[in-house]
């Protein structure tokens, strides 16, 4: 059987999708769907955290302030009266002035550990229908963690340009981005059988770069609805390289008065690592091309809304000449039992997740450039829940789900290699990827409280249990996670915010060979303690354009370990200013 090159298959699919989109544009033109932004409080500029655990809370606001309809009748009848009212004047109503909006924003902050933060977001109106957006972010630190054996500095800079245009019947956009990151493998312990000179010879620096290009088009009428294409090149200073292309065309048409959506996907990734862990001669290559189709039907009848569909995916493993076919459910139903105050929902979801070196490095920047890359088969995610609101200011969401995943990626600590020569990430200071088949039972709850227009509170928590097939534990996956966030507009000039992140205990495993210490090869399970990360920020708005801020991070737990061997910076204090302006 003749082997078909994946690059040729990808080329054919790209040409076919591009041709389809062009013909559909010629037939009918339309408009891009823009996101709707609802501002519930005056804008208070905030800044990105430096060297902090990136925890992204999931917020599902199930309430929206709605005016109730009021029905009343007036019954008029004459009343005899000799009362003559005195002339008066209408009482004045005090209202808050709306803050002026600016197109550009810049912020700069400095803190202990030589932390530096810089942000710039700008917009330039090229003409009436086209505009250019610029975003630049930077976070860096010169390090200084107390128990770090090696240099623990870091550097993270990103630049993104986007250009958007609007025609008579459609909108389009293009973007380009660049990212440069430096994270050191500073987690080497001080008990290894190494001399001071050998410790000093370790170069822990691991630098990443990424270049991304993308485009999109959104059509208002016709069968062709929208399409996106994204390309990213990712690499590091160990000659690792990865290409990732994603194409997502979407179609929409009516059949028997029902709206049918038909979404396609083409996801291609290929990459290489120059060597395996502990094996400098073993070059590691990977290549996957996933083609997917997702038809769905949306149905609404009274309090019931239903989105029913299925996704089929054909996956081609270019390195091992293996092809697989997958079918996933895509069903979601919502029923309003008591209007906006209580509704129940349920569904089943699934999909083939394309794992990449880039995604792994963003989640855990201390991975070694020797990873095995393979997709994760999320067979199904069956869930049921309820959401609504207790009052106009208190909303809630609860959910229970059961998830089955094949080849789920787990971060696992790499071993220490007792035999020299070693790479700089082979000193018991890096992480690899282990895959396992895992069933997860998860409970989730969320509560949002709007005390008034100035104070908002959000709380969510989740509890999960894991059933593993091969590994002893679900490495580095916590059972308990919780997030509390608060925003408070103290006065017209003063504003404040707080966030608490709680992460429960995790376990990690590794093999080590420290014959001079432990007497040979052993497998060890390490338990990482739970931690609470508390953060507080306070700001002062001098005028509509200039604001000052001071921020404290990691106020509760000191230098806890997010990953085994990697303590974080303890108490961090940063001060700075932000400025808004127009060109």
User: pLDDT digit string (tens) for 210-225?
Assistant: 999 999 999 988 899 9
Q: Where does 80-130 have alpha helices with state H? A: none
Closest CA to 438 of 460, 476, 464, 407: 407
In a domain, 221, yes or no: yes
Indicate the Cα dihedral angle 187, 191, 194, 195, nearest 10°: 110
- Give residue 521's pLDDT: 55
In a domain, 512, yes or no: yes
In a domain, 163, yes or no: yes
Q: What percent of the chain has pLDDT over 90?
A: 72
pLDDT-derived band at 513, boundaries 50, 70, 90? low
Task: Tell whether the model's pLDDT for residue 85 goes beyond 60.
Answer: no
Q: Which of 87-91, 196-200, 367-371, 424-428 has the lowest mean pLDDT?
A: 87-91
Q: What is the SS3 assignment for 60?
A: coil
In a domain, 79, yes or no: no
Closest CA to 154 of 204, 190, 212: 204
SS3 content of the chain, % helix, strand, coil (to 5): 5, 55, 40
- Give residue 68's pLDDT: 44
Per the model's pLDDT, the better-predicted residue between 320 and 26 turns out to be 320
Per-residue pLDDT of 537-571, as tens digits, reads 999 999 999 999 999 999 987 789 999 999 999 99
Mean pLDDT for the stretch of residues 282-301 = 95
Residue 148 and residue 143: Cα distance in Å, rounded? 9
- Give residue 420's pLDDT: 81
Average pLDDT, the chain: 85
Task: Tell whether the model's pLDDT for residue 73 goes beyond 80.
Answer: no
Burial 217-229 (b: 16+ CB within 10 A, else e): bbbbebebbbbbb
Task: Tell whether the model's pLDDT for residue 51 goes beyond 60.
Answer: no
Q: What is the 3-state secondary structure (H, E, C) of 369-410?
A: CCCCCCCEEEEEEEEEEEEEECCCCEEEEEEEEEEEEEEEEE
Residue 558 and residue 570: Cα distance in Å, rounded? 4
Indicate the Cα dihedral angle 34, 220, 264, 178, nearest 10°: -40
Residue 461 and residue 481: Cα distance in Å, rounded? 6
Residue 383 and residue 178: Cα distance in Å, rounded? 38
Mean pLDDT for the stretch of residues 57-86 = 42
Top mean pLDDT of 25-29, 36-40, 88-92 is at: 88-92
Residue 140 and residue 116: Cα distance in Å, rounded? 5
Per-residue pLDDT of 176-209, as tens digits, reads 999 999 999 999 998 888 899 999 999 999 999 9
In a domain, 175, yes or no: yes
Q: What are phi and psi of 340, to 5 degrees?
A: -80, -5
CA 294 vs. chain centroid, Å, equals 23
pLDDT-derived band at 426, boundaries 50, 70, 90? very high
**Cis amide leading into 201 (omega within 30):** no
51: left (phi over 0), alpha (psi -120 to 50) or beta: left
- Give residue 261's pLDDT: 94
In a domain, 74, yes or no: no
Residue 99 and residue 117: Cα distance in Å, rounded? 25
Indicate the Cα dihedral angle 35, 41, 44, 46, nearest 10°: -60
In a domain, 327, yes or no: yes
Task: Tell whether the model's pLDDT for residue 60 goes beyond 60.
Answer: no
Residue 204 and residue 237: Cα distance in Å, rounded? 11
- Give residue 529's pLDDT: 94
pLDDT-derived band at 281, boundaries 50, 70, 90? confident
pLDDT-derived band at 96, boundaries 50, 70, 90? low
pLDDT-derived band at 484, boundaries 50, 70, 90? very high
Residue 411 and residue 365: Cα distance in Å, rounded? 11
Name beta bridge partners: 82.
Answer: none
Q: Which of 4-8, 46-50, 313-317 has the lowest mean pLDDT?
A: 46-50
Q: What is the 3-state secondary structure (H, E, C) of 212-249?
A: EEEEEEEECCCCEEEEEEEEEEEEECCCCEEEEEEEEE
Output Rg (C-alpha) for the chain, integer angstroms.
Answer: 28
Question: Is residue 205 within 8 Å of residue 366, measured between CB atoms?
Answer: no
Work out the burial of residue 80: count CB atoms within 10 Å of its CB; fewer than 13 is exposed, 13-18 middle, 19 or more buried.
exposed
Name beta bridge partners: 264.
Answer: 293
Burial 367-388 (b: 16+ CB within 10 A, else e): bbbbbebbbbbbbbbbbebbbb
Task: Identify the DSSP state of 12.
Answer: H
Number of domains in the chain: 1
Tell me the residue range of the domain where 426 lies: 6-52+106-581
Per-residue pLDDT of 433-479, as tens digits, reads 999 999 999 999 999 999 998 999 999 999 999 999 999 999 999 99
Task: Tell whether the model's pLDDT for residue 7 goes beyond 80.
Answer: no
Strands (E) across 193-339 are located at: 205-219, 224-236, 241-255, 258-273, 284-301, 304-317, 322-336
Q: What is the 3-state secondary structure (H, E, C) of 97-108?
A: CCCCCCCEEEEE
Find the CATH number of the domain harbouring 418.
2.40.170.20
Task: Tell whether the model's pLDDT for residue 265 goes beyond 90.
Answer: yes
Whole-prediction pTM value?
A: 0.82
Per-residue pLDDT of 374-395, as tens digits, reads 999 999 999 999 999 999 999 9
- Give residue 354's pLDDT: 97
């Amino acid at each position: 059987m003749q082997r078909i090159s994946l690059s040729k298959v990808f080329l054919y699919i790209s040409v076919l999708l591009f041709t389809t989109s062009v013909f559909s544009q010629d037939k009918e033109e339309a408009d891009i769907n823009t996101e709707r932004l609802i501002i519930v409080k005056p804008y208070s500029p905030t800044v990105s955290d430096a060297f902090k655990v990136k925890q992204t809370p999931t917020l599902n606001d199930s309430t929206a302030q709605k005016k109730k309809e009021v029905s009343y009748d007036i019954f008029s009848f004459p009343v005899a009266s000799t009362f003559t009212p005195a002339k008066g004047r209408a009482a004045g109503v005090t209202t808050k002035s709306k803050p002026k909006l600016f197109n550009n924003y810049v912020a700069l902050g400095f803190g202990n550990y030589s932390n530096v933060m810089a942000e710039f977001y700008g917009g330039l109106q090229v003409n009436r229908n086209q505009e250019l957006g610029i975003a630049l972010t930077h976070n860096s630190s010169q390090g200084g963690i107390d128990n770090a054996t090696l240099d623990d500095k870091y550097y993270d800079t990103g630049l993104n340009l986007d250009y958007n245009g609007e025609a008579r019947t459609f909108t389009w956009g293009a973007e380009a981005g660049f990212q440069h990151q430096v994270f050191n493998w500073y987690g080497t312990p001080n008990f290894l059988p190494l001399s001071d000179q050998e410790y000093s010879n370790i170069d822990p620096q691991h630098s990443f770069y990424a270049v991304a290009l993308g485009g999109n088009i959104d059509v208002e009428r016709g069968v062709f609805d929208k399409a996106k294409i994204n390309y990213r090149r990712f690499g590091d200073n160990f000659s690792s390289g990865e290409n990732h292309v994603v194409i997502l065309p979407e179609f929409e048409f009516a059949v028997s008065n029902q709206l049918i959506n038909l979404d396609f996907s083409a996801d291609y990734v290929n990459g290489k690592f120059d060597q395996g862990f502990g094996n400098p001669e073993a070059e590691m290559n990977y290549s996957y091309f996933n083609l997917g189709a997702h038809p769905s039907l949306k149905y609404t009848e009274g309090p019931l809304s239903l989105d029913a569909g299925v996704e089929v995916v054909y996956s081609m493993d270019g390195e091992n000449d293996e092809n697989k076919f997958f079918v996933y459910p895509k069903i979601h139903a919502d029923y309003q039992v008591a209007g906006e105050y209580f509704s129940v929902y349920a569904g089943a979801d699934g999909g083939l997740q394309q794992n990449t070196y880039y995604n792994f490095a963003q989640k855990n920047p201390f991975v070694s450039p020797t990873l095995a890359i393979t997709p994760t088969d999320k067979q199904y995610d069956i869930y049921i829940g309820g959401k609504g609101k207790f009052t106009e200011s208190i909303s809630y969401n609860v959910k229970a789900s059961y998830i089955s995943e094949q080849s789920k990626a787990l971060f696992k600590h790499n071993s220490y290699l007792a035999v020299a020569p070693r790479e700089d990430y082979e000193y018991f200071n890096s992480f690899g990827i282990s895959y396992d088949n895992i069933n997860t039972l998860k409970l989730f709850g969320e509560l949002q409280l709007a005390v008034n227009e100035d104070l908002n509170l959000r709380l969510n928590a989740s509890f999960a249990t894991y059933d593993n097939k091969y590994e002893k534990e679900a490495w580095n996956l916590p059972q308990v996670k919780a997030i509390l966030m608060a925003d408070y507009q103290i006065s017209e000039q003063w504003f404040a915010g707080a966030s608490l992140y709680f992460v429960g205990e995790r376990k990690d495993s590794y093999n080590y060979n420290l014959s001079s210490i432990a007497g040979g090869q052993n497998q060890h399970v390490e338990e990482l303690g739970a931690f609470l990360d508390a953060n507080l920020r306070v700001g002062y708005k001098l005028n509509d354009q200039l604001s000052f801020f001071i921020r404290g991070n990691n106020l509760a737990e000191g230098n806890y370990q997010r990953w085994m061997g990697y303590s974080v910076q303890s108490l961090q204090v940063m001060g700075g200013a932000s400025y808004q302006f127009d060109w």
